[in-house]
Structure 1
Amino acid sequence: MKKFEEKTITTETIYQGKIIDLQVDEVELPNGKTSKRELIKHPGAVAVIALTPERKIVMVEQYRKALEKSIIEIPAGKLEPGEEPDKTALRELEEETGYGCENLEHLISFYTSPGFADELVHLYIAHDIHPILESKETDEDEFVELIEVTVEEALQLIKEQRIYDAKTAYAVQYLQLQGLVGKE
């Protein structure tokens, strides 16, 4: 038995969507009592840190309906069925930014909201990026503007809450810890 395990008694699917599914589980708690858990099931996602030769971070600005505002983020996207995360990372980098890369390195994977969702984000860093000749088109319902910023500028965007998501803040802090602040 796993420590503090909650055993599922029943599962009721409430909604099945294009990106997420919602279910309500009745669970038996470690003390024998029961409770309900509202859970979001997600296929997983990738996010990519891409640095230009000038050490600028390639980002995109896009409108996020859940927040009712535009924010600046690193390129990211959800896994397609059967698609390996590294392939998704390359695809999203190309689609959202028009850049390809010579080497893609997996840094870490992390859960975004483990209290209610199983979304696992795989964070990569793209080495030796270059513009691709035949840029792939973004999704038909996706509108983005390409932005390239220094780590210092990204830190300021975090303070201004223009970078306002965990994956991008994590990426900027990773670069800061790697000593890329103030280097030209």
Structure 2
Amino acid sequence: MERLEEKTISSKEIFNGKIISVRVDDVELPNGKTSKREIVKHPGAVAVIAVTDDNKIILVEQYRKAMERTMVEIPAGKLEKGEDPKECAHRELEEETGYECKELEWLTSFYTSPGFADEIIHLYIAKGLSKKENAASLDEDEFVNLEEVTLEQALEYVKEKKIYDAKTAYAIQYLQLQEALSK
């Protein structure tokens, strides 16, 4: 079986921003030749599937500059340095939706774009939701509209491309599978 690892020969940071940094690595390929790899470094993030007692999914609509459009997504946000993902999930749920939860279960973690970025998202499901008095507020540069939708409405949003990001599509498919398995 062929060795697939790439050995880093040199690495140079070319950008260091508020959220991400970018570096260019010179690598030795398995066949002995060399190549360059552009790598986006990201602190990681959490995403929360928030389900109400009447089985509605809480979604947030927000403008995404990179896409130049609004998108409907599950609540999510980046990890602060050294922050526990479960604590971050509680924080992001409260900040983006005003809800707190009695149950928060880790489902899985996944890489968003492993071909060029190391961002990992830790996905949780939140149940036993209640509106929190004096909930933490959004970051000063965040603006969202809340929606509570059924699974069927969420599936329509996928068809209509209102839901158009991988983490939210993954979450909707997870809920669809859970529903199918419970029958």
Bin for the TM-score computed over the shorter chain? over 0.9
Contact residue 56 and residue 148 of structure 1 kept, 8 A? yes
Across the aligned residues of Structure 1 and Structure 2, the Cα RMSD in angstroms comes to: 1.5
Compute the TM-score of the two structures, normalised by the length of structure 2.
Answer: 0.96
Match of 1:178 in 2: 178
Alignment of 1:1-184 (within 5 A): 3-179=3-179
Paired residues of 1:151 and 1:180 also in contact (CA < 8 A): no
**Counterpart amino acid of residue 119 in structure 2:** E
Kept in 1, the 8 Å contact 2:53–2:127? The answer is no
The one-letter code matched in structure 2 to 1:73 is: E
Tell me the SS of whatever aligns to 1:82.
coil
- TM-aligned CA deviation for residue 127 of structure 1: 1.6
Give the Cα–Cα distance (whole angstroms) in 2 for the partners of residues 157 and 176 of structure 1: 14
Residue aligned with 1:167, SS: helix
Identity of aligned residues (%): 65
Gaps of 5+ in 1: none
Pairs aligned (count): 181
CA distance in 2, matches of 1:61, 1:42: 23
* Gap runs ≥5 in structure 2: none
Q: CA deviation at 1:180?
A: 6.9
Spell out structure 1 runs of 4+ moving beyond 3 A: none
CA deviation after TM superposition for structure 1 residue 3, in Å: 3.9
Query: Structure 1 length as normaliser, TM-score?
Result: 0.96
